[in-house]
Structure 1
């Protein structure tokens, strides 16, 4: 009888191990397929930028020989450098302005009690439920009345203002997790609210600051829809708008040139993400769980 029990237990363990191995194999298969689906377009664009041909049909995943002519043509025969400068200017000032607005708003909501605070938090939650393009017509009319159409500062103000609801709510959760005893000790020593914010809270919020700054740099860097709506003149075009209009109406005859431009667009974002990935994950996790 004992032997029968031991045999039954062994069979159950063997069946359990086989089901676990099968489940693990399915997970690895899904991850492998997902990796291929993600990496194939990236590799195709990179290799397409170094294909000797010009059209989409002539581009090969593994060309017979590689060339950098498309990168040379991009700088010599287009306004790519101007587009790059414009995009960097918009992304940089958006990052600075939005980070300042987000952090100060989040700190005020976390540490101060004032009339309308609860309604402000509720409004931030509600605003996140609506897609940004719903307000594009209203924003377009507002920028037109302010004389900020075809102006980089119009884009910067809209990007910075639009980043406040989600990021401020995230930063508030981070500030809620910081001990209030630090501020109380500083107030006993005679420190003002500004001194406490800049000399105590600001250094302690480095992870969430990196996350907010990087996300607010990436958003305008990659945006096309709103920039296409606002920007009109050639000297004010961003990378997304410039590259789109470079191939528009040409039946993909400049695909390899477009691919070269797309690769150069992705390089700064990739480097920033690799260098700050640790802080991004830490800041996002802390802001989402604390408080």
Structure 2
């Protein structure tokens, strides 16, 4: 009798556990399963590139054995190639990316504030025009950009071909559009009573914009700055057209040399360069995360 009672109780406990598991899986468990699958799917390319960077061999075939061999030789070789100045590429990318992202945020914020707070003729048409122009990427204007900078080089070489300043100006030329539209929507969430209270105290549009509004819209500024920095550092076509000298090129253009030449391909060095190139983007994302997540507009109006 005692054995039967124990078996019965064990079956009841097993059925209860199975019922609880099914209920948990139906409620939230399937979400965890999808999360694990997506995490593995997203992390595998990163692990593969890191393994290829640590492989002493020079082909992608040797990287198939994940971390079978570990060596830092590719990272050492990366900084000891006179014809491929990786350190110069790294510095150029940071300079161009930081200046372009700051300029993009500043120009976009000025335009968004004007469209959001001021009323003038052509306001709606101008906003729609910016969005429509963004439908045509700068890639379509590569030939025009090359001819324009080539002509400028004869008069102002500092902003012509093979000039980082010229490349920054090209990037800033396409900085408006979607960025302004995103900021415009966020600026509209800021109550107009803040501006009215500041105007009663004698503040003008410039003071309101720089001392009040910019602090309240910090989350969207961080998002636009991060997206601009990522897009600038990863851009290849226009940078390869404008920048000709190896010492003036960016990481996207320079790293292509490691895999474009048939008899000098070294994928381990290329992977090592790609791993190091991802560090600034990751650091910037972690630094701006608190601004992206935090809603600084909460509590601005009492």
TM-score by length of 1: 0.84
1:189 Cα offset (Å): 1.7
User: 2:67 is matched with which residue: 44, 63, 67?
Assistant: 63
1:275 Cα offset (Å): 2.8
User: 2:86 is matched with which residue: 46, 60, 80?
Assistant: 80
Q: Which residue in 2 is equivalent to 1:12?
A: none
Alpha-carbon distance between aligned partners in 1 of 2:286 and 2:225, rounded to the nearest angstrom:
15
1:84 Cα offset (Å): 0.6
User: 2:106 is matched with which residue: 88, 95, 100?
Assistant: 100
Q: In the alignment, does 2:275 pair up with 1:271?
A: no
User: 1:214 is matched with which residue: 211, 217, 226?
Assistant: 226
Q: Which residue in 2 is equivalent to 1:47?
A: 51
1:274 Cα offset (Å): 2.3
Q: Tell me, what secondary structure is at the counterpart of 2:79? A: helix
User: 2:215 is matched with which residue: 203, 210, 222?
Assistant: 203
Counterpart contact for 2:258–2:269, Cα < 8 Å? no
1:33 Cα offset (Å): 3.5
Q: Which residue in 2 is equivalent to 1:230?
A: 242
User: 2:118 is matched with which residue: 96, 109, 112?
Assistant: 112
Choose 1 or 2 for highest CA Rg: 2
Q: Tell me, what secondary structure is at the counterpart of 1:164? A: coil
Alpha-carbon distance between aligned partners in 1 of 2:190 and 2:134, rounded to the nearest angstrom:
25
Counterpart contact for 1:56–1:253, Cα < 8 Å? no
Q: In the alignment, does 2:193 pair up with 1:181?
A: yes
Alpha-carbon distance between aligned partners in 2 of 1:63 and 1:179, rounded to the nearest angstrom:
55
Alpha-carbon distance between aligned partners in 2 of 1:218 and 1:41, rounded to the nearest angstrom:
18
Q: Tell me, what secondary structure is at the counterpart of 1:129? A: coil
Comparing 238-247 with 248-257, greater Cα deviation is found at 248-257
Indicate the RMSD between aligned Cα atoms, in angstroms: 2.6
Q: Which residue in 1 is equivalent to 2:180?
A: 168
1:87 Cα offset (Å): 0.8
1:238-253 mapped onto 2 (5 Å cutoff): 238-250=250-262, 253=265
TM-score by length of 2: 0.81
User: 1:155 is matched with which residue: 154, 163, 167?
Assistant: 167
Alpha-carbon distance between aligned partners in 1 of 2:149 and 2:294, rounded to the nearest angstrom:
37
Number of aligned residue pairs: 271
Q: Which ranges of structure 1 fall in alignment gaps of 5 or more residues?
A: 1-14, 287-291
Q: In the alignment, does 2:136 pair up with 1:130?
A: yes
Taking a change above 3 Å as real, the CA distance of residues 129 and 26 of structure 1, as seen in their structure-2 partners, is: farther
1:18 Cα offset (Å): 6.3
Alpha-carbon distance between aligned partners in 1 of 2:202 and 2:26, rounded to the nearest angstrom:
64
Counterpart contact for 1:44–1:61, Cα < 8 Å? no
Q: Tell me, what secondary structure is at the counterpart of 1:56? A: coil
Counterpart contact for 2:59–2:266, Cα < 8 Å? yes
Counterpart contact for 2:258–2:265, Cα < 8 Å? no
1:278 Cα offset (Å): 3.9
Counterpart contact for 2:56–2:69, Cα < 8 Å? yes
